[in-house]
Amino acid sequence: MEPSRKRRKLHYRRYLCDYNEPLPRTTRYRMAKIDPLDDDDESSHSDWSEDDQVSNNKERSIDDYRDKDIAPCSSLDFNASLDYHTSSDSDATGATVDSEQSHDEHANCDGVVGASMDSENGHDVENSDEEEGSLNDEPEQQALYDHTTSESDSTGVSLDIGHIVEDCDEAEVSLDDEHEQQSLDDYTNSGSEGLGFEHHSSSHTDDYDGGDDTTSDSEQMVNDDMMRSPLYQGALVTLGQTILLLMAFAVIVGLTQDGLQTLLQILSLILPQDSHLPATKYLFKKLFKTGKYDFHVYCPKCCCVLENNACKRCHQDFDKNELMKNGNFFFTLPLIDQLKHSLETSNLGESLNYRKTRPTNPDTISDIMDGKLYKQMCKDSNLKKDYSFSLTFNSDGVPIFKSSSFSIWPLLCHINELPPNIRKKTMFLTGLWFGPKKPSISTFFRPFINEMKTLSSVGFEWCSNAKIVKSYVYAIICSCDSVARAMLQNIKQFNGKFGCNWCLHPGERVEKGKGHVQVYPFHEEVTERSHTDMIKYQRNVGTGENFGVKGPTPLSSLPFFDIVSGFIVDSMHCIDLGVMRQLSTLWFDSSFHKEPWYIGTRANEIDRKIEQFQPPSNITRMPRSILTRAYWKASEWRAFLLFYAPIVLKSVLPRRFFEHFLLLCQAVYALQTTCITQLELFYASQHLNEFVLNFETLYGRPHMTYNVHILLHLSDSVRNWGPLWCYSAYSFEGCNGFLLKLYNGTQSVPLQIVTSFLLLKEVESMGKVLMQNAHPRVQQLFDTVVDGFNATKPVRRVNGTVFFGHGCSRALDLYEKDAVEQFLENPVKDQAIFYHKAVYNSQIFLSINYRRKLKRDNTLVRRSDGSVCQIVGFAKVESHTGCEHALCLVRKCVSKPRLFLQGYFGESRCQIKHVMSISSEFAELTVLDLSQLSDKFVVYRQENSCLVCLLPNSLERD
């Protein structure tokens, strides 16, 4: 039989599997015309009659798939078949059905996967929608409707339920065409969206949709050996490494399906004929499997999750397709699968020992593990056991379209016991709400809470160094903004009576402008909320005084989670986007031009001073004009509060207002440092109390906002859970921004995000395996794509230090050699390689001889002994024993740093210890190890001196 007829016949068989309606007349005629021609294949298809297939399909309704489980994360499908000549063996979506059912059942459901229509023949999704009269004009609602036409159930099977082929002549499918028809649940395969891949269960069968077990001569099996073999003869990269690089690149940059197809076609033309790289996006995506996720549709009236299309609370049946079109659905990603996968494949298990190996001091607070409530929890739970750990979670709304109200609400969390540099990068997405309204907490958080109950009581087992270990997991900290916090606690917002999340301050309504606002004047004594009282108020709702509690919250049942102290004061929303932005409005907004604190007329003078600041690379955003403050990000407000404002406002802001501002500056800086002593915590609490107490006197009662009030609770968060950087929302907001890059267009946005997120996690973990013993250039490129590590220049790694550039090889002069041998206490060879740029412990350092003139300053550093040094260069030297050393050549400042600012406000003496004045002269050459470079500075250069602002920590990034 001719290939085109064979493909056509395969399409009709799928049609029979997918629909229970009678066949159109054209289809019956074509089947009768084609079948007699296939005498040689009659034996294998004699049982595929129309009546039998339709009756079989009636026995398996769509809802039968709903309760199946999606496969957990797994590695590349090394056994996937690659057909380089024809893809008629499988459906255009690349979806496969893997289950433990019998072969007969497998054959019945295989056909369900592939049914779709060729957009080139006039039967695309949008046209079909118009014919049915249900096309929605809103792009995001159209995206939801795309999902309704092909539900992604827990088995991962594509169920095409929305469109009937009315004319099979026009719907004829050619699977050789590069624009493969798209199954509507391959909701990540549309040309306007990002990458998504099919689900596979743990029991892998075959990838052939027709039920045939044989492999054609044109197919080649991609196995483990082939993935580890060179891409072609003499290549530096293997086939597996190439596939990982391409997939990581496609996901990170948001490459569309057409873009991926074009890229593969270009590579197929460039690469030699013996290359095994898939030439089409279908064959390429067939090699990947994504993790497990669940799909939930809820009642639009009570937000209760539907069971069998019915709401048990409202006793009403609903059309799931219509609900999904309206956005009444959300996704959940089982946390246990993500944790197990990451701990086993990403070497995170070894990093859990951080809480035991980190340096500790009983009199200081340097991380979450030093917090009072964390220590208490270790005594009361299994958290003290080896391999057990805790989580910080967050949820916040993120708009995805500028022209509509649709947004996503990701539920994110990270592991507290990991080292800080790894902790912020290792995010787990456990849920994704999508729609025009805020989520229902009882509905959206219920799967997460149920899973946490299991993880905290039963735990889960995973393999660590060929040993089975058990971990207990606890969600103990929630970091979010004030709006989300009120939703999660189920209390009144800050603009209502008793709107504080931590105390029973009633607040009061005062007149402001043409309306009234809720303010929180300073009170000497206010009763603190407690977990026990909150539970009591939840039970007494409607029967008595409830102090702002609106009703029960599902988070009350979260094991070992304190419904009051478990929520922290987030410095990003409270201070940076809250108090600091409010103060700048008071100072510079012309509506306050009659007030004594107004300095808006001196904005140009302030701008000229701000332009002279040279921040290090740790601060990602350069300082901008105060006139553009409406567009400032949270990190810019933080830099203005801690570094710029104390210097530029010294001679501009009236003295009493400036010294009052210094109270906030010093207190926030102290609570952001890497290590906080008990005395520093006491002074910070005292300064914050003084700041809030006098705020009303200076600026008036109408400006006593909620953000100003919760500064009084800031020191309690540090006392209970560690420094502010440990749990700030910066890392979560950064992840939210990353999620927005995982979709394209307006179609199937939430599923694009979920599948792309899981896929990228899989690529990262597979890189740990396939990138072992990789060529340095290959490893360097992989780091660039996955981690955003700038490796455009040649690099050289020596003992944890990364040198950039080719380096300059020359002989050490007498002064240099004497300094090096004195530091190493061993003789070294005369020749050395010198560099001007190095990275150590994720920080960039530059020498003063760096040829590019930058607006940043990465040359001034502070040594571990507190002295200030200027970097002259970096050298790779070699001892006579062959041992290589990475050294830093510096010149020490001739004078000790001096305090630049201090003020007296009332009875409080405030010293701004992180702003110092240093001399512009430096002493003789000294050699240091890069581990001795502890901190960097924000530099403000003057004619005869230099002001430097010490960074509070090197761990929190924008």
380-422 pLDDT tens trace: 999 999 999 999 999 999 998 888 888 999 999 999 999 998 8
Mean pLDDT of 145-157: 36
Instruction: State residue 223's pLDDT score.
Output: 65
Phi, psi of 289, rounded to the nearest 5 degrees: -130, 140
923 closest CA partner among 883, 895, 897, 946:
895
Per DSSP, the residues of 894-956 read SS--EEEEEEEETTEEEEEEEEEEEES-EEEEEEEEGGGEEEEEEEEE-SSEEEEEE-S-SS-
118 close to 181: Cβ distance less than 8 angstroms: yes
User: Tokens at residue 367, please?
Assistant: 């991380």
User: Tokens at residue 572, please?
Assistant: 């990003």
Torsion over CA: 251, 252, 257, 263 (sign): negative
Cα 377 to chain center, whole Å? Answer: 28
User: Tokens at residue 271, please?
Assistant: 């690469």
Q: Is the pLDDT of residue 865 over 90?
A: no
Indicate the pTM of the whole model: 0.77
Highest mean pLDDT among 12-16, 222-226, 437-441, 708-712: 708-712
Query: Is the backbone of residue 807 left (phi > 0), alpha (psi -120 to 50) or beta?
Result: left
The number of beta carbons lying within 10 Å of the beta carbon of residue 611 is 12
Assigned architecture for domain 793-950:
Roll (2.30)
Phi, psi of 633, rounded to the nearest 5 degrees: -90, 170
Helices (H), 700-729: 706-709, 714-721
191 close to 63: Cβ distance less than 8 angstroms: no
**Where is 484: in which H helix or E strand?**
helix 482-489
Using CA atoms, how far apart are residues 537 and 351, in angstroms rounded to an integer? 41
534 close to 564: Cβ distance less than 8 angstroms: yes
Q: Is the pLDDT of residue 346 over 50?
A: yes
Q: Which residue has the tokens 């917002």?
A: 493
Instruction: State residue 168's pLDDT score.
Output: 34
Work out the pLDDT band at 25, boundaries 50, 70, 90. low
Q: What percentage of the chain's residues is helix, strand, coil (to nearest 5)?
A: 40, 20, 40
Using DSSP bridges, classify how beta strands 837-840 and 831-835 pair: parallel, antiparallel or unpaired.
Answer: unpaired
Strand partners, 810: 832
Work out the pLDDT band at 672, boundaries 50, 70, 90. very high
Instruction: State residue 794's pLDDT score.
Output: 65
The CA-atom distances, in angstroms, between 177 and each of 92, 257, 262 are 10, 14, 13
Q: Is the pLDDT of residue 724 over 50?
A: yes
Torsion over CA: 635, 641, 642, 643 (sign): positive
Cα dihedral 564, 570, 574, 576, rounded to 10, equals 170
Instruction: State residue 286's pLDDT score.
Output: 83
692 closest CA partner among 678, 703, 683:
703
Instruction: State residue 873's pLDDT score.
Output: 93
For 940-952, write each residue's pLDDT tens digit.
987 777 899 999 9
For 415-432, write each residue's pLDDT tens digit.
999 999 889 889 999 999
Helices (H) and strands (E) in the chain, counts: 34, 34
For 742-798, write each residue's pLDDT tens digit.
988 888 889 999 999 998 888 888 888 888 888 888 887 888 888 765 544 567 778
205 close to 115: Cβ distance less than 8 angstroms: no
Q: Is the pLDDT of residue 860 over 80?
A: yes
Q: Is the pLDDT of residue 545 over 60?
A: yes
Using CA atoms, how far apart are residues 838 and 800, in angstroms rounded to an integer? 10
Show Cβ contacts of residue 193 under 8 Å, excluding neighbours closer than 6 positions.
Answer: 187, 256, 257, 743, 744, 745, 747, 748, 749, 752
**Residue 799 exposure: Cα atoms within 13 Å on the Cβ side:** 12
User: Tokens at residue 411, please?
Assistant: 């539920």
Using CA atoms, how far apart are residues 245 and 239, in angstroms rounded to an integer? 10
Share of the chain above pLDDT 70, in %: 75
Mean pLDDT of 312-323: 87
603 closest CA partner among 594, 611, 614:
611
945 close to 909: Cβ distance less than 8 angstroms: no
Work out the pLDDT band at 314, boundaries 50, 70, 90. confident
Per DSSP, the residues of 419-457 read -HHHHTT--EEEEEEEESSPPPHHHHSHHHHHHHHHHHH
The number of beta carbons lying within 10 Å of the beta carbon of residue 276 is 19
111 closest CA partner among 90, 128, 125, 81:
90
Instruction: State residue 201's pLDDT score.
Output: 32
Using CA atoms, how far apart are residues 253 and 248, in angstroms rounded to an integer? 8
752 close to 758: Cβ distance less than 8 angstroms: no
Per DSSP, the residues of 544-595 read S--TTB-S--GGGGSTT--TTTTB---HIIIIIIIIHHHHHHHHH-GGGTTS
Q: Is the pLDDT of residue 435 over 90?
A: no
Q: Is the pLDDT of residue 599 over 70?
A: yes
Using DSSP bridges, classify how beta strands 473-478 and 389-395 pair: parallel, antiparallel or unpaired.
Answer: parallel
Mean pLDDT of 528-552: 90
Work out the pLDDT band at 22, boundaries 50, 70, 90. low
Torsion over CA: 577, 583, 587, 593 (sign): positive
The number of beta carbons lying within 10 Å of the beta carbon of residue 545 is 9
C-alpha triplet 708, 505, 549: angle, nearest 5°: 115
The CA-atom distances, in angstroms, between 796 and each of 137, 723, 786, 799, 852 are 55, 35, 20, 10, 20
Q: Which DSSP symbol is given to 700?
A: -
Mean pLDDT of 848-859: 86
Radius of gyration of the chain (CA): 32
Across the chain, what does the average pLDDT equal?
78
Per DSSP, the residues of 105-169 read HHHHHHHHHH----GGGT--HHHHHHHHT---SSHHHHHHHHHHTEEE-TT--EEE-S---S-TT
Q: Which residue has the tokens 């660039």?
A: 784
C-alpha triplet 897, 903, 905: angle, nearest 5°: 160
For 183-227, write each residue's pLDDT tens digit.
333 333 333 333 333 333 333 333 323 333 333 333 444 567 778
505 close to 527: Cβ distance less than 8 angstroms: no
Q: Is the pLDDT of residue 684 over 90?
A: yes
Q: Is the pLDDT of residue 327 over 60?
A: yes
330 closest CA partner among 405, 440, 481:
440
295 close to 433: Cβ distance less than 8 angstroms: no
C-alpha triplet 181, 184, 188: angle, nearest 5°: 90
Using CA atoms, how far apart are residues 116 and 684, in angstroms rounded to an integer? 64
Show Cβ contacts of residue 362 under 8 Å, excluding neighbours closer than 6 positions.
Answer: none
Q: Is the pLDDT of residue 738 over 80?
A: yes
- Angle between helix axes 776-787 and 239-252 (nearest 10 degrees) is 20
Instruction: State residue 689's pLDDT score.
Output: 94
Using DSSP bridges, classify how beta strands 467-471 and 460-464 pair: parallel, antiparallel or unpaired.
Answer: antiparallel
More confident residue, 39 or 635: 635
Instruction: State residue 805's pLDDT score.
Output: 84
Q: Which segments of the chain belong to CATH 2.30.30?
A: 793-950
Show Cβ contacts of residue 255 under 8 Å, excluding neighbours closer than 6 positions.
Answer: 194, 195, 249, 263
Mean pLDDT of 116-137: 38
